[in-house]
Amino acid sequence: MRITHAVVTLLVFSPLAWGGNMTFQFVNPNFGGNPNNGSYLLNGAQAQNSYKDPSYSNDFGVETPSALDNFTQAIQSQILGGLLTNINTGKPGRMVTNDFIVDIKNTDGQLTLNVTDRKTGKISTIQVAGLQNSSTDF
Protein backbone atom coordinates (compact mmCIF):
# COMPACT_ATOMS: atom_id res chain seq x y z
CA MET A 1 0.00 0.00 0.00
CA ARG A 2 2.85 2.28 0.73
CA ILE A 3 4.31 1.80 -2.80
CA THR A 4 1.01 2.62 -4.50
CA HIS A 5 0.64 5.71 -2.37
CA ALA A 6 4.13 6.87 -3.47
CA VAL A 7 3.36 6.16 -7.16
CA VAL A 8 0.07 8.06 -6.98
CA THR A 9 1.82 10.98 -5.29
CA LEU A 10 4.51 11.06 -8.01
CA LEU A 11 1.90 10.95 -10.78
CA VAL A 12 -0.12 13.75 -9.26
CA PHE A 13 2.67 16.15 -8.29
CA SER A 14 5.36 15.53 -10.96
CA PRO A 15 3.61 17.37 -13.86
CA LEU A 16 3.18 20.39 -11.60
CA ALA A 17 6.88 20.41 -10.79
CA TRP A 18 7.96 20.23 -14.46
CA GLY A 19 5.44 22.66 -15.84
CA GLY A 20 6.33 26.20 -16.82
CA ASN A 21 4.84 29.14 -18.60
CA MET A 22 4.31 28.63 -22.30
CA THR A 23 5.27 31.63 -24.39
CA PHE A 24 4.66 32.24 -28.06
CA GLN A 25 7.27 33.93 -30.20
CA PHE A 26 6.83 34.88 -33.84
CA VAL A 27 9.29 33.38 -36.32
CA ASN A 28 8.64 35.81 -39.17
CA PRO A 29 10.51 39.10 -38.64
CA ASN A 30 7.61 41.01 -40.25
CA PHE A 31 5.51 40.15 -37.23
CA GLY A 32 8.10 40.75 -34.52
CA GLY A 33 10.25 37.66 -34.87
CA ASN A 34 14.02 37.50 -34.91
CA PRO A 35 15.43 39.53 -37.86
CA ASN A 36 18.02 36.81 -38.48
CA ASN A 37 15.23 34.50 -39.66
CA GLY A 38 14.41 36.71 -42.67
CA SER A 39 16.97 35.36 -45.14
CA TYR A 40 16.23 31.76 -44.11
CA LEU A 41 12.50 32.22 -44.70
CA LEU A 42 13.03 34.03 -48.02
CA ASN A 43 15.41 31.35 -49.32
CA GLY A 44 12.95 28.65 -48.33
CA ALA A 45 10.11 30.42 -50.15
CA GLN A 46 12.19 30.97 -53.28
CA ALA A 47 13.29 27.33 -53.31
CA GLN A 48 9.64 26.24 -53.31
CA ASN A 49 8.58 28.73 -56.00
CA SER A 50 8.45 26.94 -59.35
CA TYR A 51 6.45 29.64 -61.16
CA LYS A 52 8.17 31.29 -64.13
CA ASP A 53 6.60 34.46 -65.51
CA PRO A 54 6.21 34.00 -69.29
CA SER A 55 6.39 37.76 -69.92
CA TYR A 56 9.61 38.18 -67.89
CA SER A 57 12.68 38.93 -69.95
CA ASN A 58 16.14 38.55 -68.52
CA ASP A 59 17.51 41.92 -67.33
CA PHE A 60 14.69 43.83 -69.02
CA GLY A 61 15.47 42.68 -72.55
CA VAL A 62 19.25 42.81 -72.33
CA GLU A 63 20.79 39.59 -73.55
CA THR A 64 23.46 37.83 -71.54
CA PRO A 65 26.84 38.20 -73.28
CA SER A 66 28.27 35.06 -74.81
CA ALA A 67 31.48 33.43 -73.64
CA LEU A 68 33.27 34.89 -76.67
CA ASP A 69 32.05 38.41 -75.81
CA ASN A 70 33.25 37.97 -72.22
CA PHE A 71 36.63 36.71 -73.43
CA THR A 72 37.00 39.62 -75.87
CA GLN A 73 36.15 42.12 -73.16
CA ALA A 74 38.68 40.52 -70.79
CA ILE A 75 41.43 40.66 -73.43
CA GLN A 76 40.63 44.30 -74.20
CA SER A 77 40.77 45.17 -70.49
CA GLN A 78 44.11 43.43 -70.16
CA ILE A 79 45.56 45.26 -73.19
CA LEU A 80 44.28 48.60 -71.90
CA GLY A 81 45.83 47.84 -68.50
CA GLY A 82 49.14 47.07 -70.20
CA LEU A 83 48.99 50.35 -72.09
CA LEU A 84 48.36 52.26 -68.88
CA THR A 85 51.28 50.47 -67.21
CA ASN A 86 53.65 51.38 -70.06
CA ILE A 87 52.61 55.03 -69.93
CA ASN A 88 54.91 55.70 -66.94
CA THR A 89 57.90 54.65 -69.02
CA GLY A 90 57.04 57.28 -71.62
CA LYS A 91 55.64 54.89 -74.20
CA PRO A 92 52.43 56.13 -75.81
CA GLY A 93 49.85 53.51 -76.66
CA ARG A 94 46.93 52.83 -78.94
CA MET A 95 44.16 50.25 -78.84
CA VAL A 96 41.70 49.78 -81.68
CA THR A 97 38.47 47.83 -81.20
CA ASN A 98 35.34 47.46 -83.30
CA ASP A 99 33.71 50.34 -81.42
CA PHE A 100 36.51 52.60 -80.18
CA ILE A 101 40.02 53.87 -80.81
CA VAL A 102 41.90 54.65 -77.60
CA ASP A 103 45.07 56.77 -77.77
CA ILE A 104 47.06 57.13 -74.54
CA LYS A 105 50.02 59.42 -73.90
CA ASN A 106 51.90 60.91 -70.97
CA THR A 107 52.90 64.54 -71.45
CA ASP A 108 55.01 65.89 -68.58
CA GLY A 109 53.16 63.87 -65.94
CA GLN A 110 49.69 64.42 -67.41
CA LEU A 111 47.92 61.31 -68.68
CA THR A 112 45.77 61.99 -71.74
CA LEU A 113 43.31 59.44 -73.09
CA ASN A 114 41.58 60.23 -76.37
CA VAL A 115 38.67 57.89 -76.99
CA THR A 116 37.18 58.01 -80.49
CA ASP A 117 33.79 56.45 -81.17
CA ARG A 118 34.22 54.77 -84.56
CA LYS A 119 30.49 54.87 -85.37
CA THR A 120 29.87 58.56 -84.70
CA GLY A 121 33.39 60.00 -84.93
CA LYS A 122 33.00 61.79 -81.58
CA ILE A 123 36.14 62.15 -79.49
CA SER A 124 36.22 62.17 -75.69
CA THR A 125 39.34 63.34 -73.92
CA ILE A 126 40.22 62.29 -70.40
CA GLN A 127 43.10 64.03 -68.65
CA VAL A 128 44.62 62.98 -65.35
CA ALA A 129 47.39 65.00 -63.71
CA GLY A 130 49.95 63.77 -61.22
CA LEU A 131 51.71 60.95 -63.06
CA GLN A 132 55.44 60.50 -62.88
CA ASN A 133 57.41 62.18 -65.62
CA SER A 134 58.47 59.93 -68.46
CA SER A 135 62.16 60.62 -67.86
CA THR A 136 63.88 59.26 -64.78
CA ASP A 137 66.99 60.78 -63.26
CA PHE A 138 69.38 58.62 -61.27
Predicted TM-score (pTM) of the model is 0.44
pLDDT value of residue 122:
93
Residue 32's identity, in one-letter code, is G
pLDDT value of residue 129:
80
Q: Which parts of the chain register pLDDT below 50? A: 134-138
pLDDT value of residue 136:
47
Backbone torsions φ then ψ of 79, nearest 5 degrees: -65, -45
Residue 131, Cβ neighbours under 10 Å: how many? Answer: 15
Alpha-carbon dihedral sign for residues 37, 42, 47, 49: positive
CA atoms within 13 A on the CB side of 4: 1
| Burial (CB count <10 Å: 0-12, 13-18, 19+), residue 12 | exposed
The arrangement of strands across the sheet holding 123-129 comes to 93-96, 100-107, 110-117, 123-129
- What is the SS3 assignment for 111? strand
pLDDT value of residue 13:
63
